């Protein structure tokens, strides 16, 4: 999944980034409201993790502005503010969920996956498709009973195609997914990872629609 972490505490941000990227997610980091607003306005995210106490503007203001603009991206507020009134204000502003610091990173990841699935209209976690058994919650998949091991970036591309299954994903969308790993993306990176996935999953699983992109039927 392509995620956005809005957090101004560098140590916490790096800890969350390391964990989520190790789980196969592509994660962008915004340390303040201005950066977050620019990112949310220009990039499609599966989910946003939003701190409230940002240095330049309240996270609630950012959330309200995005909802007024018609942005329906799932937002999970992660903050040290633990009063009931704070939670109510966050949910009333349009947040989908609310966790209080310090939080368990495994629980955070599980909540993100659940919200992203619902945002895609795919609430199930275990899926049978193209001869594969997929567990999106655990980021694992099997073919004929044998587990297929994917790298974090391979899983990110596969999960993006899985979330959009039946719809063509353009190359640019998959470049966005890979770009969140905070590394330089080569011009042929998408083709490289599609090729790797086909080698592991089988040639008929991912289709190329020339001039359009890729699709998991």
* Domains delineated in the chain: 2-119 (3.40.50.2300), 126-215 (1.10.10.10)
Identify the residue whose tokens are 């939003």.
50
pLDDT at 162: 87
Check residue 186 and report its DSSP letter: P
Which helix (H) or strand (E) segment holds residue 147: the answer is: strand 146-148
pLDDT in tens, the chain (217 residues): 789 999 999 999 999 999 998 887 888 999 999 999 999 998 888 899 999 999 999 999 999 999 999 998 899 999 888 888 888 999 999 999 999 998 999 999 889 888 877 766 655 668 888 889 998 877 889 998 999 999 888 998 998 898 888 889 998 888 888 876 656 567 788 999 999 999 999 888 999 999 899 999 8
Q: Which long-range contacts (CB under 8 A, 24 or more apart) does 8-11 make?
A: 8/32, 8/51, 8/53, 8/54, 8/55, 9/51
Identify the residue whose tokens are 């083709």.
191
pLDDT at 76: 95
Tokens of 94: 């349009």
């Amino acid at each position: 999944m392509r995620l956005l972490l809005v957090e101004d505490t560098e140590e916490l941000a790096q800890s969350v980034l390391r964990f989520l990227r190790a789980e196969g997610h592509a994660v962008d980091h915004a340390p303040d409201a201005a950066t977050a607003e620019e990112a949310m306005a220009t990039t499609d995210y599966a989910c946003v993790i939003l701190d409230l106490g940002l240095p330049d503007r309240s996270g609630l203001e950012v959330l309200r502005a995005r909802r007024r603009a018609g942005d329906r991206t799932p937002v999970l507020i992660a903050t040290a503010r633990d009063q009931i009134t704070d939670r109510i204000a966050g949910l009333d502003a349009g947040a989908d969920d609310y966790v209080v610091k310090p939080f368990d990173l495994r629980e955070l990841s599980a909540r993100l996956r659940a919200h992203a699935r619902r945002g895609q209209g795919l609430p199930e976690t275990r899926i049978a498709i193209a001869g594969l058994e997929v567990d999106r919650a655990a980021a694992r998949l099997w073919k004929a009973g044998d587990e297929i091991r994917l790298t974090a970036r391979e899983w990110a591309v596969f999960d993006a195609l899985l979330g959009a299954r039946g719809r063509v994903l353009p190359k640019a969308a998959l470049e966005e997914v890979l770009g969140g790993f905070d590394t330089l993306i080569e011009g042929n990176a998408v083709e490289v990872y599609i090729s790797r996935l086909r080698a592991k999953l089988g040639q008929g699983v991912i289709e190329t629609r020339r001039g359009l992109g890729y699709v998991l039927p």
